[in-house]
Amino acid sequence: MKSIADIQALIREIPDFPKPGILFRDITTLLQDADGLKATIDLMAEQVISYQPDCIVGIESRGFIFGMPLAYKLGLSFVPVRKPGKLPAAVHHVSYDLEYGQDSLEVHQDALTEHHRPLIVDDLLATGGTAAATAKVIEQTGATIAGFSFVIELSGLNGRQKLPDGIPITTLISY
């Protein structure tokens, strides 16, 4: 199995993307490496099994990339949280602020109940706005969030501070 250092080495750094001064962490090179992708999912599963989730919630869209194989690995179901207008049935909806503007997320109203313990999964924890909004829309279902799992955390952006208190957070790689 590859180590976390091996996985980190598969993440390409692209300076000045999407704008000058930003060092972008590109996961496409990790996704292109079968052993690295498998190790990522295996290590994420090891980190979160003690949270006892009963389903995985993936945040559109890169949360789907890691959430689906993690659900498969753990033998759990998968619930997508999507941008508005992408889900065909009745939804719970939340709007949230971005650095410049607003965005929204939705989940099917019948996807989760108060008996569920979902694990929220995404590729990246940066400022925490999207993950915090996902927690709010999941709370509308009555479910109890088991935890958060991210491949990468940009710790200098303090995204953890926006997430609900008392809910465990795991990341494989921190920059």
d(CA 104, CA 47): 29
| Token representation of residue 128 | 């925490």
Radius of gyration of the chain (CA): 16
Catalytic annotation, pick one of 60, 82, 99, 114: 99
Q: Which of 60, 62, 117, 160 is catalytic?
A: 62
Whether 99 sits among the annotated catalytic residues: the reply is yes
**Residue 58 near residue 79 (C-beta atoms within 8 A):** yes
- Residues annotated catalytic, as ranges: 62, 99
